[in-house]
Structure 1
Amino acid sequence: MAAARSAAFHWLVDVEQIMGMPISIHTLIEGPATTDSVVQDAARRCFDDLRQVDRVFSPFDPRSDIRRIARGELRDSDAAPMLAEVRELCDQARDATGGLFDAGWKGWFDPTGLVKGWAVEQVARRHLEPLMTDRRVAAVGINAGGDVQLFTHPDSSWIWNVGIADPRASGEIIATLPVSTGAIATSGTAERGPHIIDPRTGKHTTGILSATVEADSLTRADLWATTAMIAGFDDLSWLDSAGTSTGLLVAADGRTRRWLGATEIMVTAHDPDFITGVIGGA
C-alpha cells in the first residue's frame, strides 16, 4: 500500500469480538503516533452499534428479537425499529435474486447472508466515513471476518490491497483486489465448512468453494457473494442485476471465473497449482 501525502503516517487499530467474529477498524493517520480520541470514539460507537444489531438479529442467541419472533414471543411492531428496515431489504433481495436469497425459507425470518454486510456498512457510513472530512485521516476501513467497507480521503492516493484467501490452502492468498473506496465480501466454505443453504432445495451448496464480490456497498457485496454461492459456479445470470464492480468465483476443482461490471473477463480451467494474481483495477 502507498499514500500520496509525504508526512509520516501511522495506523490506529481497534479490535473487538462481536457477532462471533473479530471486527477490526483500521485508520491511517497523518502525523505522530499518538492516541487519537476522535478516531477511537468513532470506533467505540461502531462496536456499540454492532452489539445492538447482534442483540436483534443473532440466529444463535435465543434472546434475540428474530428468535423471539420465531417463537411467537415478540411481535414485529414491538421489535427494534431496525428489524422493519432489514425485512424490507430482504424482500427486495429475494425479488432481485429471483429467490436465490430468501430470508424466510426456514419458515421464520433469518436475514443471514445480508444483515452482516448491512450492519457493518451502516456503522461505517455513520461513524467512519465522516472522518474523511479530517485531512489528517488518509484512510479508514472496517473488517468484519474478512468482509470490508473501506474509505480513502479524496486527497490521498492510498490503495487498500485486499487479499482474497485461497479456499483450498489455509493461510494462502489466491488474488488481491486493489480498492480506494468501496466494499468487498467473500462467502465460502474455507472457515466454517459447508453452511450456505440453497433456499430452493434446503440443501447445502456444492461445487463452489468461495465467491468474492466487490461493490460500492457492503450490503450489496455481501448479498451477491451469498447469491453467487447458491447460484453455483456455472451460473452467472445474476451478474446483470447485481451492480457489482468485480469478483472471483473458485470451484471445488480449482477452476475460477472473474468479471468486471456485468462482463466476464476470465475463466480458468482446473489448475492444481492455481496461479495467484490481481483482479480488478482502475
Structure 2
Amino acid sequence: MLHRVEHVMGFPVSLRVDDEHVPESAADAVFAWLREADARFSPFKEDSEVSRYDRAELSEDALSADLREILDLCEHYRRATGGAFDVRPPGRRLDPCAVVKGWSVQRAAELLKQAGASRFVLNAGGDVVTAGGPWRVGVRHPEHADQLCTVLSLTDGAVATSACYERGDHIHDARTGRPATGLLSLTVVAATLTEADSVATAAFALGPEGVDWAAALPGCEVFAVDAERRVLRTPGFPTAEAKAA
C-alpha cells in the first residue's frame, strides 16, 4: 500500500493506493506532474505559461495543447453560466485555477491507473478522485471547521466543494464583479474531477440558481447549503449509510 502527503499548488495533497503491486514510482509520477502543472499554469508564478500568455508574451499559436484545453474548458463554463463564471473578467488577470486544479488532479489519477492502480483515493485540498472502493468522503460543514455536513460513498468518481470558508470571498459572479452570494457551500459529484471542480465553482458563482443549473447537468449530483442554512440535494447524491464501513 502506498501512502504519501505533499504540499502542492498551495494545499495538501494526499494519496493512498491499496494495490500492493503498484510501485512507489507511481506516487513519484503523480506529485511530479502536479508540481509541473503548478509551474506551468499558476497565475501566481511570473514565468508560468499562463502568466506569459496573460502578458501577451505568447500568441495563441504558441500555446501548449494543455493550456488550449484548459482555456477551452474555461470558455465552455463561461458560456454555460451566462458569464457568471469567467477566468478573465474585465480589469482582472487571467486566473484559470478553478479549472486547472481539477483537471490536473484528474490527470494525476489517470497516471495512477496507467501504473496499474485500481483502488486508490487522491485528495487535493478536499477535492477527491477515487477508484475501487467504496470510499467514504466527508464534506466539511461550511461554518464549523470541526464538523461534517454530510458523508458520501464513492467507488469510481470524483467530488469537489466550492465555498468561502478557506479563502474568503474568492469566487466572484463575473456578471456583477462582486463576490458570489446566496450559498455557503456547494458540492458536486461527477465522473471526473475536471468536471466536478469546474461545475462546483461555476455553480457557486451563479448563486442560488447554480444549484438547479448543476443538478441539470448529465451525471452530476449536488449537495448545497444556502445562505439561509437550508440543505439542498439531488436525489442521486451518494450519501453514505451510517452503518457503512
Residue 29 of structure 1 aligns to a residue whose secondary structure is: coil
User: Using the alignment, how far apart are the partners of 1:219 and 1:81 within structure 2?
Assistant: 16
229-238 or 208-217: bigger deviation: 229-238
**Shift of residue 138, structure 1, vs aligned partner:** 5.8
**Shift of residue 196, structure 1, vs aligned partner:** 0.5
Question: In structure 1, which of residues 200, 214, 234 is the aligned counterpart of residue 175 of structure 2?
Answer: 200
User: Using the alignment, how far apart are the partners of 1:202 and 1:112 within structure 2?
Assistant: 18
173-182 or 232-241: bigger deviation: 232-241
Matches for 1:19-30 after TM superposition, within 5 Å:
19-29=9-19
Aligned to 1:82: 66
Percentage of matched positions with identical amino acids: 38
Matches for 1:150-165 after TM superposition, within 5 Å:
150-152=130-132, 158-165=133-140
Decide whether aligned partners of structure 1 residues 257 and 54 sit closer, same or farther in structure 2, where only a CA change above 3 A counts.
Answer: same
Residue 162 of structure 1 aligns to a residue whose secondary structure is: strand
1:12 equivalent to 2:33? Answer: no
**Shift of residue 80, structure 1, vs aligned partner:** 3.4
Contact 2:158 2:189 in 1 (8 A): yes
Matched to 2:18, the amino acid is: L
Aligned to 1:39: 23
Unaligned 5+ runs, structure 2: none
What are the superposed Cα offsets for residues 186-211 of structure 1, whole Å, 9 maximum, x if unpaired?
11011112110111111111231111
1:68 equivalent to 2:15? Answer: no
Structure whose CA Rg is larger: 1
Aligned to 2:145: 170
What are the superposed Cα offsets for residues 72-102 of structure 1, whole Å, 9 maximum, x if unpaired?
2233433433111211222222223332322
Aligned to 1:98: 82
Aligned to 2:228: 253
Aligned to 1:238: 213
Aligned to 1:7: none
114-123 or 98-107: bigger deviation: 98-107
User: Using the alignment, how far apart are the partners of 2:119 and 2:225 within structure 1?
Assistant: 30
Residue 242 of structure 1 aligns to a residue whose secondary structure is: coil
Contact 1:86 1:115 in 2 (8 A): yes
**Shift of residue 233, structure 1, vs aligned partner:** 2.6
User: Using the alignment, how far apart are the partners of 1:244 and 1:95 within structure 2?
Assistant: 19
Aligned to 2:42: 58
Moved over 6 A (4+): none
1:145 equivalent to 2:125? Answer: yes
1:224 equivalent to 2:199? Answer: yes
Q: TM-score, normalized by length of structure 2?
A: 0.88
User: Using the alignment, how far apart are the partners of 1:88 and 1:245 within structure 2?
Assistant: 20
Unaligned 5+ runs, structure 1: 1-10, 31-35, 153-157, 266-277
Contact 1:233 1:250 in 2 (8 A): no
Matched to 1:192, the amino acid is: R
Aligned to 1:130: 114
User: Using the alignment, how far apart are the partners of 2:179 and 2:82 within structure 1?
Assistant: 18
Matched to 2:104, the amino acid is: A
User: Using the alignment, how far apart are the partners of 1:97 and 1:244 within structure 2?
Assistant: 18
**Shift of residue 104, structure 1, vs aligned partner:** 2.6
User: Using the alignment, how far apart are the partners of 2:51 and 2:118 within structure 1?
Assistant: 41
Contact 1:233 1:249 in 2 (8 A): no
Residue 96 of structure 2 aligns to a residue whose secondary structure is: coil
Structure 1 or 2: larger helix share?
A: 2
Question: In structure 2, which of residues 105, 116, 128 is the aligned counterpart of residue 120 of structure 1?
Answer: 105
What are the superposed Cα offsets for residues 211-233 of structure 1, whole Å, 9 maximum, x if unpaired?
10000011110111112211213
User: Using the alignment, how far apart are the partners of 2:78 and 2:206 within structure 1?
Assistant: 13
